[in-house]
Copies of this chain bind each other. A is one copy, B any other.
Amino acid sequence: MPDLPALELLLAVARLGSLGRAAAEAGISQPAASARMRTLERLAGVPLLERTPRGSVLTPAGVLVTEWAGPLLDAADELDTGLAALREDHNTRLRVEASLTVAEYLLPRWLVALREALPGVAVSLRVGNSTDVAARVLAGEADLGFTEGVRAPGGLDSAVVAHDRLTVVVAPGHRWARRRSPLPAAELAATPLVQREPGSGTREVLAAALARHGTPAADPLLELASTTALKAAAVSGAGPAVLSSLAVADDIASGRLVAVEVAGLALSRSLRAVWPHGTHPTGPARELLSLTRGTA
């Protein structure tokens, strides 16, 4: 298993052109950096660096590992920032409360950006469903909230920060992937799906939308507890799954999954930032809100 600090060091070497400078930046000694790179190269089996008396440059294999490591470290950074926000739950400066979809897909990047813009602010993060969020913002227990739903909660001012749409996805080999016309809602309802556990938000939204078509939904094909598991099952051809468009965007782009159009089904909802009615977010809350603005 690759080791995150070693990968970070590799990127630093690529950027700075020398093992010693990378070591200094990482706050470790030059021999330690040398040893880390050696273990990483032992893991890869091929040299990743070309050492010269004037510095070190990446080999082609090193470039490849670098490119693979970039997204990995980004994800780690987002997780780390998220953990820090959870940690700040009590002694806080900016208290954010968000519904799960926003917390899962959008907030990590915003928090990373916020930390860059305002390094000093301690951000706390709580997770709750949309009514919880609204209640806590109203009660002044959170400075800024993020909710999901078709309409804004009452008593709050809000701004739409993103749109989310439940998307039906199948593996590329599935027959729905070759359809040229939208899938009738009735056929979707009659087909066993890979689903989240009962009580999950997306599952209930889907059930409600299908019920409006008067078609009783088939029993789930499989019930799984995490988005990752759901996607993996769909990719492996277990059957169609219904997921947030934010969760499957990259899988669709890379061709792992194919989105299936469904006729006449309203599966869209808005993700909103909310704050108490009549006020304007200020300070860090204002900054965070402005970071979300471009991404509508």
Contacts and interface: CB of A to CB of B under 8 A. Distances in A.
B249 A104 contact: no
Interface stretch (A149-157, A209-217, A253-261, A273-281): A253-261
A158 interface: no
A180 to B, nearest CB: 16
B88 A1 contact: no
A119 interface: no
A79 interface: yes
A4 B5 contact: no
A109 interface: yes
Interface residues of A, number: 66
**What is the copy number of this chain in the assembly?**
2
Contact of A70 (B65, B80, B228): B228
B228 A64 contact: no
A46 interface: yes
A2 B80 contact: yes
A55 interface: no
Contacts of A228: 67, 70-71, 74
A253 B250 contact: yes
Contact of A226 (B66, B75, B76): B66
Contact of A82 (B65, B70, B177): B65
Contact of A2 (B65, B66, B68, B79): B79
Contacts of A2: 76, 79-80, 83
B79 A69 contact: yes
Given A72-B75, A79-B72, A86-B45, A227 B67 contact: yes
A21 to B, nearest CB: 15
A171 interface: yes
A182 interface: no
A103 interface: yes
A124 B128 CA distance: 47
Contacts of A1: 4-5, 76, 80
A221 interface: no
Nearest to A2: B79
Given A5-B1, A61-B86, A67-B227, A162 B255 contact: yes
Contact of A83 (B43, B63, B88, B254): B43
B255 A249 contact: no
Lowest 5 CB-CB distances: which A-B pairs, in order?
Answer: A172-B294, A255-B295, A249-B253, A45-B87, A70-B228
